[in-house]
Structure 1
Amino acid sequence: METTMNSYSRPSIFLALALAASVTQAADELEEVIVTADFRASELMNSAASVSVLGELQIQERGARHLEDILSAAPNVSWSTGASRSRFVQIRGVGDLEQYAEPKYYPSVGVMVDELELGSAANAGMLFDISQVEVLRGPQGTRFGASAHAGMIKINSNAPTDEFEALLSGGVGNYGAYNYGAVISGPLGDSVTGRIALQQNQGDGYIENEHLGEDDTAGYDELTGRARLRWQPDDGSRYELALFSFDAENGYDAYSLDNERKTWSDQPGADEQDTLAVSARGEWQLGVSTTLQAVVSDLDADLLYSYDADWISAEVCQINTCSFGHDTAREIFDRRRDQSTLDVRLLGGAEAMAAGEWRYALGFYGNQSREKLNYAYPSAWYGLYESASRYETDRYAIYGELEYAFSNRLSLTGGLRLERFEDDYRDSNGVGHDNSEDLYNGELSLQYDFSDNSFGYATLALASKPGGVNVAASSQYGFMSPAFQGFMQGKLRFDDERLLNREIGFKSRQLDGRLELRAALFYATRENAQLENWMWDDSAGLWIGYLDSNSDTDSYGLELETTFVASEAIELVANIGWLDTEVDTVTTFDLDRWDFVSKKDREQTKSPGYQYNAGMRTALPAGFSGVLELEGRDESYFGYYHDGQLEAYNLLNASLSWSNASLTLNLWGRNLTDEEYATHGLYFGADPRDDFGAWSNQTYYQFGAPRTYGLDISWRL
């Protein structure tokens, strides 16, 4: 892997920006984009937040199947693997990294499909029949509270249509990838419309298992279904019922002792999910300027996650000399998760703000989540260890927001959200914790229209994320060595985290609507930052994972997004994120020094110093169009227990499409230079082979997708 940015990437950014700043004759202008994630839908160029909107065309051109295929187009957004899909997202360096025993009902970055909160079930972020993906950076405390502590990703599916339409789609790609799907939408009566979308997505993955002689042990098999029913009996009311289903039988076989895409595991893992959710929404017009909205949802998910804990088979130690042989072990997490939510809000006041006018939002939110986990670690060396646990949380909130216009150009928005959080944990080892606390979220935002085409804002936002139980550490506490018990004695629970974000932003549309510029500058501090950490207790044979809330952090950065219609045939895009982070002090167990050490002024994990996405879309003769884009990011730490880093990388993507009124063909390719890059890392002694320094500490990587390409076909009836 390369340690520095490829030579073509930096010039590409500046070239794209220079082209975007040049002036040429153009007849077309950029279309208006609507953001739906706030209390009221607003135009992207007038929203007081740093937001990226990834549209349906961009999703299709990339051949994107899952969120992980598209998020790199948004600046200062990272994601973590450690599973078959990138389940956890980091925005501006804040976000969870992985999941083992910890419940994690409230990841720092929330993921929603329409009105449904996915939480830790975000493997289900599939992109078939999706109209757009909205990425909101920074805390969204008044609107979402702890569900969007560092940001929110909202996936909007296509709505039912008033006219009949149907779609058949399919695609094939390398590594045994293929998909097929269908959509049908239209009226079911005078006031009722409906839409159904189904897709099957399969592939072998990018790993070859040498021991089993198979190339699909990291494969994916995903079935996604959505159904939406809308009923509008009169002008004053409307209702929607939505059903969401996701069934994944994915494999998990990612790590190799030799850091390559060939594994020797004899018990490859699984990353399976069976989710069924339903949501209902009602909206009633109570007067000329007052609307009542209510959303209720229920989600049931079965999640099975397992992996080969020793990574190898007996064959490896027959070919090589191994110290102490090898263990035959698996780690298995079988969880059942149930979540019910209710959100009722009253919206009132003026729709279009003018001098002296105001509008408000008042609401109540409730979330009840229950999780049962059956854990097993069968090992030839340590025997069979099993445990069972249940974790219950109740979260209730009241919230309000008021916006007032001092003039036709200047307005002020203030919001406050008070949350009550309660949790209760019990496991088969006799460990039990319960707690309750009050959380406060607030926002103050000043917005100013410099002209009809330029808009600015300054925002101060306070966000709180609840504390909780360090589940694995609590259940393992009685088995730890004395030194580790002493270290963890005050860390079996972690405190609530408070994030204060200061942000200023500017958005402008120039050159007769052909050039759009969006920029945001932010500075954020986290008190009691919940940092993921790991320790290896060699005497007890325990990996101890926990959240440490004894540190504070600082971060600041910039997001810059530009789109320029250079001519009727050419559109240019350049998005850049810059980020600098610092953790005051974090104490961890150093595997090389074999002692507890304190690290000062460390960068946060998964916080690359820069990210970029730059590209060109061009219309070609005879119905053809093409896209060429570059994306990349700086190096970043993958953990706190070690100073290993994921190296910088740069990827080249392209697509060539042809379409007429009913048929579309898209030939796409991602990472066309076949660059090898890592998306997650581990550091410990895993290799028993004497010739490779038996049981010495080494860095091991999980790699991102290699060169992938395919052909997608869709036919509209």
Structure 2
Amino acid sequence: MIARFLLLASVAGASLITSHAFAEEAPSAADSAEQASSPRGDVIVVTARRRQETAQEVTLAISVIKGDSIEATGNFNVVKLQQLAPTLQVYTTNPRNTSVNIRGLGVPFGLTSDGFEQGVGIYVDDVYNSRVAAATFDFLDVSQVEVLRGPQGTLYGKNTTAGAINITTNQPTFDFEGRAELTVGNLNYKQAKAAISGPLSDTIAARIAVAATSRRGTLFNTTTDRWINEQDNLGIRGQLLFKPNDDFSLTLSGDFSRQNPECCGTVFVRVGTTQRPITRQYDELVKAINAANPGRNYATPSRNPYDRLTDLDSSLSAGNKIGGVSAKAVWNVGPGTLTSVTAWRFWDWKPENDRDFTGLSVVSKSQNPSQQDQYSQEFRYNYESQKIDFVVGLFGFKQRIDTQGTEQQGADASRWSLSGTQATNPAILQGLTATNTQWLKSTSAALFGQLSWKVTDALTLQPGARLNYDKKSGFYQRVVTNGAGQVISCTPTPTAGTDLAAQCGVYQPQVSAPSDSAWNFTYDFNINYKIARDVLAYATYAKSFKTLGINQNGLPLNADNTVNYDAGTVKPESVNHFEVGLKTQFWDRRATFNLTAFRTEIKNFQATVNGGQFGTVRGYLANADKVRSQGIEADFKVVASDRFTAYANGAYTDAKYKKFTNAPCPPELSGGTFVTGNQTPDAPGQAGNTPSHPGASLSPRACDISGQDLPGVSKWAFSYGAEYNVPVTLLAKEGQVYLGVDGNYRSHWNSNASPSIYTDVKGYALTNFRAGFRGEGFDIFGWVRNAFDVNYIENLQVAPGNTGLIAGQPGDPRTWGGTIKFSF
């Protein structure tokens, strides 16, 4: 799919890591001779609008990271890539529950639902990947990655409201070439990559690439006596290029990737007091369980998350398979180019989790395997002339996802979740099982296009438009059986205090079949003016949307414990985006400084919310009235000489709920008795039945979080890097000895959909070093990442049940190793 202005805007936050891989702009014809003799590094040729352009002449905020730069810095998937792109935020608790946001927008933070669209599109060789799980796989034979910021719709097949990540792989060549790479490091880290390409005939070329990564886990599970959260990735891609003449080419591609790690576990981070009765909160519950089981003496193995100890007692797995085939045909027709991209992709997800985050048998089983098939077809026609360029396209997309879920309560569930005499009877909840069956069908079609009118040599106007149709339908059924295997019913509402009422309070049977469709018309307009030879100013307005959503994982309950069917569908987001930018080069174009300011306003923002209980519903979508993200991004890079290069990128992002008056409450305002009438809720973190508060605490039914920050967003983010090299002859090989450094900083952020005092993640700074010797066809270097062994948290999770338990995943400790690369 034609990426919207896929080229380097200057954010070389990674474009420059090694001098032979520094991301520099494509030269215009007038500048080719001058740039050929300039010491500014290699040239990146990008044809975002099907013609060669310099990055400084195209009006879009975009980071371009070369494949060699990705390898040198160890950022081998999208999750790691955020260390190089300050406005990219990627948070993951497992491959399915992965959030990829740009400027704080894109995916609702929290548990993933199949029923909504991704606000940040992930594309591999023009093929849209609808599931964000693709972000957790290793990059495979990648040429470069572009991170586009802001709405993309008038040049993309699939509309995205926050941006796009466009991954381009190395293509088959008619010249024989190959490359191999081997990396080893501590934690038993091993990574191997290889690719080979060449002609099969005068008109057919082929390329095949493989990659494998393994690493010991970073958390030690004292229950199983094993390291968990390991890496175990394997990928392969094959391509055939048929090119009978200069006017036509057909590329057939197939890929398959597999992950099968023991993942994804958490560690104890802290306990935060909720409004639940004090005897029903984490520490007191553990005491009660120990008292009821003499000699057990359960305790978490450590209350320091950086001891990296856990005691999870449920099976863990993150089995993940993804792959597909595609056919891309490019045909020069008259004055333009016709492109067709046909693709089928699949995703198989086989997880096993410990949803109580403890070594207690509260939730003894939590599994939600799913299988996805998607089909997409895109046609584009691109026309180019001296004054007028345009792109017009058609896009069709069809998807089906089937999920089979099982969640079961364990031997400690009654003591954990019930009160009074029921808490002393394990049989009430032990073996209680919820079995979920669900499917989703999604269809999308679009007509899109963009015009570029060169009014003068300096002034260009670029209007674009998109007409989009979406339809979603789903089915969800939860069947609940008790410990004896008997199906239970919660209709009519069971009598309070009975065993059945207790069981229905944990898992309630439910059937829903949400369905909806919507048309959307959107547009954008860009005006840019070349103030001087190397100074370009631009302004963009985009009216965009994220299409409707459906709640596919079950629906929340009303106050009377009945199913809220009105929550089955979620309104489309309405997006107004404003952006201005200035692109400059100076010092004979050795230095580039770009500045971007943006403001995005979204009505009916699709937010993930959580009811806080085990079985009513894990998480669901709801519309927040209004959200706003605004900020400034600055990017600087310099190639002082062939010996020294450097870059620095920074972003300030202020992303807030402007109006969300009926949001779920954070844990410190949850767990008590709901207020009625004119009652006033108690203070945050005021537990009930304490000496200072003898009665039950009162909790609000909903909270007004207007004005609070969106989850997952750091206000300040920076990345930087530099490299110095010296030419030498070593072991009869001519080359360069080099020393490089890169690093990044992110300020604090909150990891709960409704910001909580207990889920504030502290800011951190990471620093990486590398040193090596490279020459023609080889590169040998050693590296150390997180060189100062900084302790930091990647994400925090609120355990269900309002017990106050907060679990999390620590970031990687210091790692080190060496890499050998050869090419021919």
Q: TM-score range by the shorter chain?
A: 0.7 to 0.9
In 1, distance between residues paired with 2:119 and 2:51?
23
User: Is 1:401 equivalent to 2:427 in the alignment?
Assistant: no
Aligned residues: 659
Q: Contact (CA 8 Å) 1:68, 1:86: kept in 2 or not?
A: no
Which residue in 1 is equivalent to 2:344?
298
User: Is 1:340 equivalent to 2:455 in the alignment?
Assistant: no
Q: Contact (CA 8 Å) 2:440, 2:552: kept in 1 or not?
A: no
Task: From 324, 346, 358, give the equivalent of 2:388.
Answer: 358
Task: From 362, 384, 393, give the equivalent of 1:327.
Answer: 362
Deviation at 1:148, TM superposition (A): 2.1
User: Is 1:665 equivalent to 2:665 in the alignment?
Assistant: no
One-letter amino acid of the structure 2 residue matched with residue 577 of structure 1: A
Which residue in 1 is equivalent to 2:816?
709
The one-character-per-residue Cα deviations of 1:99-149 (angstroms, maximum 9, x if unpaired) are 756215631111111122222132454223211110000111212365422
User: Is 1:493 equivalent to 2:569 in the alignment?
Assistant: yes
Which residue in 1 is equivalent to 2:540?
459
Is the partner of 1:472 in helix, strand or coil? coil
Deviation at 1:641, TM superposition (A): 3.0
- Equivalent residues in 2 for 1:365-444 (5 A)? 365-380=395-410, 381=413, 382=429, 383-428=432-477, 429-444=510-525
User: Is 1:54 equivalent to 2:91 in the alignment?
Assistant: no
Is the partner of 1:450 in helix, strand or coil? strand
User: Is 1:531 equivalent to 2:607 in the alignment?
Assistant: yes
One-letter amino acid of the structure 2 residue matched with residue 557 of structure 1: G
Q: Contact (CA 8 Å) 2:590, 2:638: kept in 1 or not?
A: yes
In 1, distance between residues paired with 2:749 and 2:50?
35
Q: Contact (CA 8 Å) 1:160, 1:194: kept in 2 or not?
A: yes
User: Is 1:172 equivalent to 2:253 in the alignment?
Assistant: no
User: Is 1:599 equivalent to 2:705 in the alignment?
Assistant: yes
User: Is 1:144 equivalent to 2:148 in the alignment?
Assistant: no
What TM-score, normalized to structure 2?
0.77
Is the partner of 2:250 in helix, strand or coil? strand
Which residue in 2 is equivalent to 1:13?
none
Provide the alpha-carbon RMSD of the alignment. 2.2
The one-character-per-residue Cα deviations of 1:159-202 (angstroms, maximum 9, x if unpaired) are 22221112222111111210122211112211222211001111
User: Is 1:83 equivalent to 2:94 in the alignment?
Assistant: yes
Q: Contact (CA 8 Å) 1:679, 1:702: kept in 2 or not?
A: yes
Q: Contact (CA 8 Å) 1:391, 1:426: kept in 2 or not?
A: yes
Which residue in 1 is equivalent to 2:221?
209
Which residue in 2 is equivalent to 1:628?
741
* CA gap 1:468/1:38 in 2 versus in 1, 3 angstroms: farther
- Equivalent residues in 2 for 1:465-544 (5 A)? 465-474=546-555, 477=556, 480=557, 482=559, 485=562, 488=564, 490-537=566-613, 541-544=615-618
Q: Contact (CA 8 Å) 1:565, 1:571: kept in 2 or not?
A: yes
The one-character-per-residue Cα deviations of 1:181-229 (angstroms, maximum 9, x if unpaired) are 22111122112222110011111121111111111x2112111111122
Which residue in 2 is equivalent to 1:565?
639
User: Is 1:648 equivalent to 2:763 in the alignment?
Assistant: yes
* CA gap 1:543/1:592 in 2 versus in 1, 3 angstroms: farther
* CA gap 1:495/1:472 in 2 versus in 1, 3 angstroms: same
The one-character-per-residue Cα deviations of 1:295-320 (angstroms, maximum 9, x if unpaired) are 11100111122211223335xxxxxx
Which residue in 2 is equivalent to 1:17?
none
User: Is 1:274 equivalent to 2:321 in the alignment?
Assistant: yes
The one-character-per-residue Cα deviations of 1:330-362 (angstroms, maximum 9, x if unpaired) are 211111000000000111131xx4xxx112111
One-letter amino acid of the structure 2 residue matched with residue 533 of structure 1: V
One-letter amino acid of the structure 1 residue matched with residue 336 of structure 2: T
In 1, distance between residues paired with 2:114 and 2:744?
33
One-letter amino acid of the structure 1 residue matched with residue 434 of structure 2: Y
In 2, distance between residues paired with 1:264 and 1:174?
24
In 2, distance between residues paired with 1:225 and 1:585?
47
Is the partner of 1:45 in helix, strand or coil? helix
The one-character-per-residue Cα deviations of 1:428-447 (angstroms, maximum 9, x if unpaired) are 34311211101223110112
In 2, distance between residues paired with 1:440 and 1:140?
14
Task: From 536, 556, 577, give the equivalent of 2:651.
Answer: 577
Which residue in 2 is equivalent to 1:637?
750
Q: Contact (CA 8 Å) 1:360, 1:403: kept in 2 or not?
A: yes
One-letter amino acid of the structure 2 residue matched with residue 579 of structure 1: T
Deviation at 1:553, TM superposition (A): 1.1
* CA gap 1:146/1:99 in 2 versus in 1, 3 angstroms: farther
Q: Contact (CA 8 Å) 2:337, 2:382: kept in 1 or not?
A: yes
Q: Contact (CA 8 Å) 1:231, 1:240: kept in 2 or not?
A: yes
* CA gap 1:635/1:484 in 2 versus in 1, 3 angstroms: farther
Q: Contact (CA 8 Å) 2:346, 2:374: kept in 1 or not?
A: yes
Is the partner of 2:392 in helix, strand or coil? strand
Higher strand share: 1
One-letter amino acid of the structure 2 residue matched with residue 482 of structure 1: A
* CA gap 1:418/1:39 in 2 versus in 1, 3 angstroms: farther
In 1, distance between residues paired with 2:68 and 2:617?
45
Identity of aligned residues (%): 22
In 2, distance between residues paired with 1:385 and 1:125?
31
Is the partner of 1:68 in helix, strand or coil? helix
In 1, distance between residues paired with 2:444 and 2:49?
20
* CA gap 1:274/1:83 in 2 versus in 1, 3 angstroms: same
Deviation at 1:494, TM superposition (A): 1.2
In our comparison, the structure showing a higher alpha carbon Rg is 2
Task: From 706, 724, 732, give the equivalent of 1:618.
Answer: 724
* CA gap 1:658/1:84 in 2 versus in 1, 3 angstroms: farther
In 2, distance between residues paired with 1:134 and 1:607?
21
In 1, distance between residues paired with 2:665 and 2:627?
20
Q: Contact (CA 8 Å) 1:76, 1:610: kept in 2 or not?
A: no
User: Is 1:241 equivalent to 2:252 in the alignment?
Assistant: yes
Is the partner of 1:199 in helix, strand or coil? strand
Gaps of 5+ in 2: 1-36, 269-302, 414-428, 478-509, 671-699, 729-735
Deviation at 1:564, TM superposition (A): 0.5
In 2, distance between residues paired with 1:597 and 1:336?
36
User: Is 1:265 equivalent to 2:295 in the alignment?
Assistant: no
Deviation at 1:591, TM superposition (A): 3.1
Deviation at 1:701, TM superposition (A): 2.2
Gaps of 5+ in 1: 1-25, 315-325, 687-694
In 1, distance between residues paired with 2:204 and 2:461?
39
Is the partner of 1:223 in helix, strand or coil? strand
Which residue in 2 is equivalent to 1:135?
147
In 2, distance between residues paired with 1:460 and 1:484?
45
In 1, distance between residues paired with 2:794 and 2:539?
34
The one-character-per-residue Cα deviations of 1:424-474 (angstroms, maximum 9, x if unpaired) are 111234311211101223110112222332222111112111112112232
User: Is 1:310 equivalent to 2:356 in the alignment?
Assistant: yes
Q: Contact (CA 8 Å) 2:711, 2:754: kept in 1 or not?
A: no
